[in-house]
Amino acid sequence: MKKQKGFTLIELVVVIIILGILAVTAAPKFINLQGDARESTLNGFRGALQGSNSLVFSKAAIAGEERIADDTAWAANTGNTDGVDIGTATPIKTVFGYIPANSTDIANAMDVDLSEWVITGSGPLVISPINAPAATCHFTYTEATTNTAPTYTLYTPGNNDDPFAC
């Protein structure tokens, strides 16, 4: 009788099937595609807001309205109660030339639908994707002050201790 050397075809197929099942169930735990997608979306929104703010500031500077502090000061300083014309249906009453920290003006300046985003806060706005854990996957937008431009502080798994938080 011959001694068997190696695996039979059936044994090989069974091992491949078992490895496939393990890969399908374990891979999502290690890859975290959904969290990476949320983080990329968050970075994209932050970049779009920064770009919009640059354009709004440019328009405000051209109009000479980049030093107006708030809504009350608009009428007193310029006689213009409408705000800066940014090419959308509604002008924006800027804060030191930048977009105020409220969802209405952000949506207007960026010309976006914010239904996919959760925006909370007054002062610094906390902005996160709609199905993301807002506590660990967001950025804050703080409007400009007399001497500082607006700030965009990103808080995602890339800069905290939990790699699966977003």
- Note the pLDDT of residue 155: 82
Given a cut of 70, whether residue 74 has pLDDT beyond it is no
Given a cut of 80, whether residue 157 has pLDDT beyond it is no
- Note the pLDDT of residue 76: 60
Given a cut of 80, whether residue 67 has pLDDT beyond it is yes
Extents of the domains making up the chain: 33-159
Given a cut of 60, whether residue 150 has pLDDT beyond it is yes
Summary mean pLDDT of the chain: 83
Beta-bridged to residue 79, according to DSSP, are none
Average pLDDT over residues 7-36: 86
Average pLDDT over residues 145-156: 88
Q: Is 115 helix (H, G, I), strand (E, B) or coil?
A: helix
Given a cut of 90, whether residue 21 has pLDDT beyond it is yes
Q: How many CB atoms lie within 10 A of CB 138?
A: 25
The model's pTM: 0.75
Average pLDDT over residues 105-121: 91
- Note the pLDDT of residue 38: 85
**Neighbour-count burial of 60, counting CB atoms closer than 10 A to its CB (0-12 exposed, 13-18 middle, 19+ buried):** buried
